[in-house]
Structure 1
Amino acid sequence: MNIVSQSHKLAQDIVKRQNEEALKSSFLKTQKDILASTHNVFRTAYYIAKNNRPYSDHPGLIELQMINGVNVGRVLHSNVTCTDIVHFISKEMREALLASIKVTRPKLTVLVDESTSLSKKSCLIVYLRTSVDSSEPVTFFLDLLELESTTADGIISQLLNCLQKYGLDDAFLKECLVGFCSDGASVMVGRKNGVYTKLRSKYPGLIGWHCLNHRLELSVSDAVKHCTETNHFTAFLDKLYCLYHQSPKNLRELDAAVSEVGVCLRKIGRVLGIRWVASSFRTVNAVWTMYAALYHHLTSASVDVNRSSNDRCMYEGLAAKLTSVAFVKNLGLMMDALEELKDLSEALQSRDIRLSQSVNLIKRQLDVFKTMSRNPDSGLFYKTACEAEQQGVFNGITLRNDPRQKIIDPTSFMQHYAKAWKQGWSQVKRNPSFKRSMFLIQRHGQALYH
């Protein structure tokens, strides 16, 4: 009988495991677990960046996944690490995009805009619009440059250095660069020494384009200047903005009043200022929605004995202006006009907008304002305001006639908008860049030149 000792069995197991390369298998398994946990952490950081969440959400999301049994490892859990991961991912994605662009060599457009950093330094935001892997053209962020000089030569020098840094050299730009888009600042579109003029002397095939959204804001500004009745309306809304923006106490009291009325608290900003027209619509819409809550807060503050007599008089005057028929009608008129402009502005800001689509949208908007100037009661909000005038009540609040408050003439107001738009659109159509762009679209198709 052949008896195998325990020691002999152990020796056989050792030899067997040696043949199986257990150490190498264990190392590979450990590496696989580490890569899996890193993969989960990177996906979490990408989610935060994609959804515009603060980096401080990262530790909480990691903790939640650990509770749910997800393998997230033991490191890379801080908000600082999340920042580094997002920067790394964005760098890799940008390099992949640019590598594809350098290989396929599609036509591209450079979009730039000046801004100011928190340290009050001038910066240049650079975007590219092009086709990636023969797909539909997309717009993506390239870089943020801190300008050493805000002259045209200084901007051109740093812009070209930025493009060359990412592999888009002079030969590539001469072959593929077809468009340059910016705002209407003289340093950008000046006929003699503007950035576009000097770039075109270097790249003759370049088409310059004044951003349509900036043109929209200029048209709105021109219309407001010619319609002086809007000054009282904008001054009153600016007063409301200062009242709730500068005083946390007033904002808390308004929040309580909003809860009692049963609507949502909305932010009151400035109107018809330097921001996009969509921001003005949000402010006017906030006042329209919170009208009853604003009235209740202003009337409560006007009889609050804890406030000074001057403050109580101020709140009483604001409440009186709020309940005037003139203000309600002006509010409805501005709602109708700004809603139309907001929709157009957001459409023009779309990443996949085409030049031909923009032309159709602008023509449609001209027709809308012409129709509204002939029939101002066609607007939904202005019609509601006129009905409130007849009933003497708006959102449950009794209205009063105040001869000191000026009512904006709806026909004149809409005519000013239509005229400003028509003049702005005429300038666009007379622009050689527009004519050339439309010619290239008809000749080569939308895919390259929209």
Structure 2
Amino acid sequence: MGHNLHFRNACTNIINHIAQEMRKTVIKTIIEAKSNILLLMTDESTTISPLSSLIIYLQTKLLNKAEPTNIFIDIVKLDSVTAEDICNTLLNCLESMGFSKEFLNDNLISIATDRAAVMMGRRIGVVTLMNQHFPQILVWHCANHRLELSVNDVIKRDFPSHVNHFPSVRILGTRWVASSFRIVSAVWKNFKALVAHFTTAEGGQSRESTDRELSELTLELQLRDITLYSAQQKIRNQLLVLEERKLSCGPHYRKALKVVQELNFRRIPLEKGGNYQTF
């Protein structure tokens, strides 16, 4: 191999060259096949330095793959974090990779991002500006980001006093993998009873069916090969199931209705109060 690979800079340049050529080949294949593409994640992210960067992925179906493939495109430095500058940076990056405006107009079908104001603002967000260029695209709020925000809201609303010490060790924040790892580690070390409960509940049938169904839906949405269409279908089907349960009473709701009708709860007589309301 000679002496070139003994030097870090030389190895870095060789790896970068190989990666760029592989990326060119993949993008050329996508363009020639006129494959539909989804901008799966365009996330304005700040590193430990004061600089901001734009992380760009796309999802498409390659000819030799049965399932859609996620492809990393680039990390682009942002001189400004305004919606217009982010949009221009994104378009310039795609154009430099070989994706012409004509190709994007015919084959760009969706864009997914978080719901930050600069990304999804209705008047001047990045997605709004992209819609002006490509009116046909479907906008999708990142399911992982939606889940992270949901967990954060539940913690703030229902368990403020039980886990208020977690933020002091920088967990339960929206920092994705690092946040999840710190949470699991903290719970594993400090809440053995909770770990035992989760272990029992994982494979047990004691949980209500709704909890099990939502847990299964969450796991399905985290699959690496899931598409926007299939994710939307799974969420829609689950919503239909929950709506149907509102219309057709379950066993617990029937018991509650019986208690209201008989004014008797576990042999304890009940009385109608001034603010009594029927179910």
Same fold, TM-score > 0.5, yes or no: yes
Q: Choose which of 25, 32, 51 in structure 2 pairs with 1:121.
A: 51
Question: Take 1:211 and 1:196, find their aligned partners in 2: how far apart are those partners?
Answer: 13
Q: Choose which of 170, 177, 182 in structure 1 pairs with 2:113.
A: 182
Question: Take 1:337 and 1:343, find their aligned partners in 2: how far apart are those partners?
Answer: 13
Question: Take 1:173 and 1:335, find their aligned partners in 2: how far apart are those partners?
Answer: 47
Describe the shift of the 1:287–1:203 C-alpha distance in structure 2 as closer, same or farther (beyond 3 A).
Answer: closer
2:120/2:126 contact within 8 Å kept: yes
CA displacement 1:353-377 (0-9 Å, x = unmatched): 123543437966998xx9xxx99xx
Please list, as runs of the form range in 1=range in 2, the aligned pairs for 1:301-380 lying within 5 A after superposition: 347-355=220-228, 357-358=230-231, 359-360=233-234
| Aligned position for 2:263 | none
Q: Percent identity?
A: 34
Describe the shift of the 1:173–1:214 C-alpha distance in structure 2 as closer, same or farther (beyond 3 A).
Answer: same
Say if 2:18 is the partner of 1:89: yes
| Aligned position for 1:104 | 33
Describe the shift of the 1:74–1:344 C-alpha distance in structure 2 as closer, same or farther (beyond 3 A).
Answer: farther
| Aligned position for 1:264 | none
| Aligned position for 2:256 | none
1:234/1:271 contact within 8 Å kept: no
- Give the alignment's Cα RMSD to 1 decimal: 3.6
| Aligned position for 1:199 | 130
Question: Take 2:165 and 2:202, find their aligned partners in 1: how far apart are those partners?
Answer: 17
Describe the shift of the 1:355–1:109 C-alpha distance in structure 2 as closer, same or farther (beyond 3 A).
Answer: closer
1:75 maps to a residue whose letter is N
Describe the shift of the 1:287–1:189 C-alpha distance in structure 2 as closer, same or farther (beyond 3 A).
Answer: closer
Question: Of Structure 1 and Structure 2, which has the larger fraction of its residues in strand?
Answer: 2
| Aligned position for 1:80 | 9
Q: Choose which of 275, 278, 286 in structure 1 pairs with 2:185.
A: 286
| Aligned position for 2:100 | 169
2:187/2:195 contact within 8 Å kept: yes
C-alpha deviation, 1:128, in angstroms: 1.4
2:60 maps to a residue whose letter is T
Describe the shift of the 1:334–1:153 C-alpha distance in structure 2 as closer, same or farther (beyond 3 A).
Answer: farther
C-alpha deviation, 1:211, in angstroms: 0.4
CA displacement 1:317-359 (0-9 Å, x = unmatched): xxxxxxxxxx665666688899989986665344311235434
Question: Take 1:271 and 1:360, find their aligned partners in 2: how far apart are those partners?
Answer: 30
2:111/2:138 contact within 8 Å kept: yes
2:234 maps to a residue whose letter is N
Describe the shift of the 1:160–1:237 C-alpha distance in structure 2 as closer, same or farther (beyond 3 A).
Answer: closer
Say if 2:68 is the partner of 1:137: yes
Question: Take 1:125 and 1:82, find their aligned partners in 2: how far apart are those partners?
Answer: 24
Question: Take 1:272 and 1:362, find their aligned partners in 2: how far apart are those partners?
Answer: 28
1:284/1:331 contact within 8 Å kept: no
2:188/2:195 contact within 8 Å kept: no
Question: Take 1:160 and 1:357, find their aligned partners in 2: how far apart are those partners?
Answer: 27
| Bigger mean CA offset, 88-97 vs 117-126 | 117-126
Describe the shift of the 1:286–1:346 C-alpha distance in structure 2 as closer, same or farther (beyond 3 A).
Answer: same
2:128 maps to a residue whose letter is T
Q: State the secondary structure of the residue aligned to 1:234.
A: coil
Gaps of 5+ in 1: 1-71, 242-269, 292-326, 376-450
1:235 maps to a residue whose letter is N
1:284/1:335 contact within 8 Å kept: no
TM-score, normalised by the number of residues in structure 2: 0.69
C-alpha deviation, 1:286, in angstroms: 3.0
1:284/1:334 contact within 8 Å kept: no
Describe the shift of the 1:212–1:92 C-alpha distance in structure 2 as closer, same or farther (beyond 3 A).
Answer: same
CA displacement 1:118-153 (0-9 Å, x = unmatched): 431111111111122363321111111111221121
| Bigger mean CA offset, 91-100 vs 80-89 | 80-89
C-alpha deviation, 1:161, in angstroms: 1.0
Which of the two has higher C-alpha Rg?
1
Question: Of Structure 1 and Structure 2, which has the larger fraction of its residues in helix?
Answer: 1
1:78 maps to a residue whose letter is F
Say if 2:175 is the partner of 1:275: yes
Question: Take 1:279 and 1:159, find their aligned partners in 2: how far apart are those partners?
Answer: 26
Gaps of 5+ in 2: 204-211, 246-250, 253-279
1:184/1:210 contact within 8 Å kept: yes
1:352 maps to a residue whose letter is D
